[in-house]
Each structure stands twice: as C-alpha cells, then as structure tokens.
Amino acid sequence: MERDGSRHKAFTRRLALLGGGQLSLAALLMGRMYYLQVLESDQYKMLAEENRISMRLLAPPRGLVLDRFGQELASNRQNYRIVLIAEQTKGVAETLDRLAHIIPINSHQRNRVLREVKRKRPFVPIKVAENLTWEQFAHVNVQLPDLPGVQPDVGEGRYYPKGLETAHIVGYVSSVSEADLTGDPLLELPGFRIGKNGVEKIYDESLRGKAGNSRVEVNAYGRVIRELARQDGQSGDDVVLTIDTGLQEAIARRLADESAAAVVMDIHQGEILAMVSSPSYDPNAFNLGMSSKAWQNLAQHPRKPLINKAISGQYPPGSTFKMIVALAALEAGVAGPDHRVFCNGVIELGTSKFHCWRHRYGGHGWVDMKQAIAQSCDIYFYDLARRLGVDRIGDMALRFGLGEAFGIELTGEKDGLVPSKDWKLAVTGVPWQMGETLITGIGQAYLLATPLQLAVMTARLANGGMAVRPKLLRHQNSRKLDGDGARSAAGDGRDNAGGVRKFDADAQSMGVSAANLKFITDAMSEVVNGARGTARKYKLDKELNAQMAGKTGTAQVRRITKAERKAGGKLSKETPWQERDHALFTAFAPVGAPRYATAVVVEHGGSGIYAAALTKDIMTEVLRGDPMGRSALGVAGGGRGKERKT
C-alpha cells in the first residue's frame, strides 16, 4: 500500500510539473501573441502595408528655356513610345518581328529588348521604341489586336524648336550615366534625362523640378493591381535668357557656310543678345539617341561643330588689338594723337625684318595715330610697341577683358592669353625678346583672345570705360500660374527703352581718360566711315540713319616665308584652308550714341575685310530689330514680349 501511495504521489507531482510547464508555455505564447498583436500591432501593420503598397517616383515636367521675349528655346512635347510586357506575348521575338513591320526597329533595339527580358520580371514593361511620329503611334494602336503584350504609351520628352541656331547656348539633355549619379532618386528613374551641355547643364537642378509620387497596390510578386493615390511633381523653374532669337537666327543664317563665331552684346548692361558658333549641330539628336557613326562624324569634323567657338575658340586678335596698344600709349604718355611715323613698308630689328601689310605698295607714308588705326598701319604699331614694352601693353589688355574668363553661364569658356615677360620665362625658361614685343603690338605672337573677349573689349571702349561683364541669364522664375493660367508678371520688362544709359550695377569705371577713349572710338569710326579706312566699303546703308565704327583684323596662323611674301601669294586659292589667315572685325553702333557691340571671327577667312562685310549685315539686323529698345519678359516672369519684326 505504501508503494502504491508513493507511486501515486510521484505521478501527481510529475503531472503537476507537466501541467505547470504547459501552463507556462501557454502563458509565454499568449504573452508573445499579445505583444505582437497589441503592443507591436502598429509596426507590423505598417510592414504589411509596405508589402502591399508601393511608392513610386514620378518625374516632374522640366522647366522651359526662353529667350528675352518669351520664345521657347527648350520645351517639352509628347513622347510617343511603345513598351512590351513579356508575359502577355506568345513569344517576345515573334512580337518584335511583327512590330518591326509597323515601326522601324533596328538590331540594336531588338537585342537590347531581348537582354532586358532575361533580366527583368515578365510583367515589368520594357521600352521598345520612343519618339515615334503620330502616324507611327496611331498605326501601332490600330494593329494592337495582332500584337499581344505591346502597349502604346505617351510620356514627355525634351524638344529644341530652334535646334541648330541655339545649340551652343541651350545645350542638350541626355541619359544619366553612372558618373552622373549623386544619390538623387530622380536620376535613377528609367528614361530620365539631365542637362549635358550649355544652359541645360548649368541650370540643370533648377530646371529638373521636384518629383511627384504615386501610391500603387501590388501583389506578392510586385505586379501593380491599382493606383491608390497620385501627387504630380512640381515643374522645374523656367530659365529666361538675354538672347534675341530672331537676331540669333538671322546671324546663324548669315554664317551658315562659314567656320566662324559672332557675339552681339549690349555695351551698358553686358547682356548677350546673340552668340553664334558655326557650323552647329542638332541638339535633338542627343535626346533622341545618337548612333556611334553620327557621333564620330560630329567629333571628327574638321570645322568642329561641337565646340562653341564664341567662348572656346582662341585666336590671335590681329589688328583688332591695335586700339588697346594706342590707348596704352596715350595713357602712358609715350605718344599722343599727333605722334607721326613714316611707313615705308618694312623696319629692321637686328637681322630681322618686320613688314607692314602694305609693304608691296611702299607702305603708308607719314601717318598719325588716327590714320594708323584707320589704315591699320603695322609699322606705326611696331613703333608704339617698342616704346611701351610688352608689360604695359598687357596691363591695358587685361583691363579691357582679355586674358580673363568671365564665368558666363556656359561650359567650356577659355581664358585666352595675354603674355608678359614673367609669363614667358616661367613657361619656356627663355627671356622675352624685343621682336616679340613688336609682333604683340599688332595682335600676334603669343596673344590669344576669344570672340566673346573681343566683344567685351569693344563694349568697354564704346561705353566710356565701364568694366561691364557679359551675361546670358535674365532671370529664373517659378512656373506657378495665376488664375488665368498665365505666368505672373512684374512690370512691362522694357529694356531701358529710349536709349537711356543704364549700366550693369556691378560695372566699375576702369579709370581711363574719357578724352583718350573718345579719340580711340573716333578712330574706329574712321575705319568704316573715313575716306581711307580699311572697311570703308562696308559702312551702313543710309536708310538706317546710323553709322558703325569698327576695326578690321587679319591674324596669321603660320609664319610667311620670304618667297611667299615676295610673290604676294600667301592667300592664293592654292593655299590650304587650314593655312589661311583668320578674318576678324569688331564694331559698335550707333556712332554718337553707342548701344551695341559685336565681334566676328571667321576661321581662315583670309582677310579682316571679309569679316567686315559679314559684320555690316549683322549690325544692320541688330539696329533694325533694336532688341534693347523693345519689351521683354519682366524680371519675375511676365507675358510674351513683342514679336520680332523681320
């Protein structure tokens, strides 16, 4: 009996322990369930919701690029495209074959689609083609019953309505490369484009805008079931430039057959009204996708259409530099307006001879400073250079904007070069020679300038010695619309109409004698309007009731041999294009009340007189249109300005 009692007690004890363990386990499980379902319910509800709800970025509309009168230079237009969903096709290759009978699909596109099909989930849309014409897009829509898996789609793409004429200013957008990734999720969106050159690149972030988002419900595999909510992105800011599109187009047409650059600017405020580099390229090709062959044709073109020659081309200024040398002599007191030099066509320095361009005709005879500028006498400026020395010449050149990058709102701007004794010794280790000073006096030797710098130099001469700086940006404005759907305006945007002189607020006086500056600008007028000026054949037509002042320049690109000089055939038709002299002309107008300055450089154009002929046509267009005297977009947006009359 005792044994049975012991067994019963042991069994009861074990049963109690087992029951206690079960109760403890149940309590633990119930506690865990309470913790998960009550205390942590919000967190797990959020996690479950995140598995069901997907947040997707939406690319915002890119801001516009406008000219000073509101004409669109970079805009957005519908992008008709075709996508393919692999799981809905009977066979991707077969579907692509059928689609190729309707729209052009090359081998590169086909292979790309097939690669993406292997890499992506079968329900993910894959882009097949974009930037289709409306006719192509409509044809695909009609044939959809025979194209399972094919979906037409309408997006937004960049478009440049003035492509060739404004390419070097506006630039272009293109696909995002790995080097462009900065952590901005917008950059990782399929098909997103960013600015790669020009204004599009410089103001890319403000043009991009802010992304929107879409909340969509997805299943366990990530397939979209429905859209729950949508918030569109905020459009990028519009960028309004100082450019006059009508003037830009007119100059581009005039230079279409040249390898050349031209800049037109307001001499008081520094606004760039036109900046043309020829030949040009179509920026739309970069947005649409350029073939490697097309790229090679552009990159290897001998006249370099991809380079903005107005800011990146560096040329000896030739005789357009003579005003700076004359002004330096006047300011230093080494020569006055009445200083005379006899030109017989050649001078000697040691064993070297330095010629005037008129040496074959016995030179210019006796000339004073004004006639030396008007007739572009090299011997006169050899004399001034010898008296001044290269460093004093260089100091004056720097004051007038040569040898300096202005930080204009474009990529690729070059500094040019204003040489000095110290510069040469540091770079070459060889001391400066007097012969190099003489050549610098006529704008050659090591001296280099961009067309933009020459335009700024001319503007500072014409405006009375104010150090205006060039600018392309008028303003940026948000694309917030008023109740009528128009941009908000601030004032009429009139650009100092009536010829009132209003200088750039940042422009400082360079401290140059007003009398000396007037003498120089009078001499420039003599170049065009005088009886013996080198550009006298290209004075403005009487109907304009205005005169132009300017200076011709012919810059050698190689040393002329004695045989060529004797024969006078250095610019013969047999001379290869690359060996011909550059042609330059700088000008301002109207004489008496200057407002506009321009610089024209024609690569291997042969003679400054050739550039003068082009400049006459350009300045005629400028004065007829008078862009600074017409209403433009106001400083905070504004409506459309008056259309240009052509």
Just list the catalytic residues.
319
463 closest CA partner among 401, 415, 531: 401
Positive or negative, the CA dihedral 569, 573, 579, 583 is positive
Distance CA 12, CA 162 (A): 98
For residue 189, the SS3 value is coil
Distance CA 275, CA 169 (A): 7
Exposed (0-12), middle (13-18) or buried (19+): which is 346, by Cβ within 10 Å? middle
Provide CB contacts within 8 A for 551, sequence distance 6+. 319, 320, 322, 323, 373, 376, 524, 527, 535, 585, 586, 587, 608
Distance CA 320, CA 309 (A): 18
| Residue count (the chain) | 646
Distance CA 229, CA 209 (A): 20
Provide CB contacts within 8 A for 39, sequence distance 6+. none
Q: Up-side HSE of residue 499: CA atoms within 13 Å toward CB?
A: 8
Ramachandran assignment for 412, one of left (phi > 0), alpha (psi -120 to 50 degrees), beta (any other): left
Distance CA 226, CA 211 (A): 21
For helices 390-399 and 322-332, what crossing angle results, to 10°?
110
Which value, in Å, is the radius of gyration of the alpha carbons in the chain? 36
For helices 322-332 and 451-462, what crossing angle results, to 10°?
40
How far is residue 569 from each of residues 358, 379, 560, 565, measured CA to CA in Å? 14, 21, 10, 7
- How many of the other CB atoms lie within 10 Å of CB of 106? 11
- Enclosing H/E stretch for 205: helix 204-208
Structure tokens at 590: 């109207």
Structure tokens at 169: 């200013």
- How many of the other CB atoms lie within 10 Å of CB of 405? 14
Identity of the amino acid at 464: G
Q: Tokens 């400049």 appear where?
A: 615
| C-beta contacts of 564-573 below 8 A and 24+ residues apart | 565/355, 565/359, 568/360, 571/606, 571/607
- DSSP per position, 358-379: TGGGT--EEE-HHHHHHTT-HH
Contact between residue 515 and residue 278 where contact means Cβ atoms under 8 Å apart: no
Structure tokens at 446: 């090591």
- Enclosing H/E stretch for 280: none
Identity of the amino acid at 2: E
Distance CA 311, CA 321 (A): 18
For residue 401, the SS3 value is coil
Distance CA 64, CA 72 (A): 7
Distance CA 124, CA 221 (A): 11
Provide CB contacts within 8 A for 423, sequence distance 6+. none
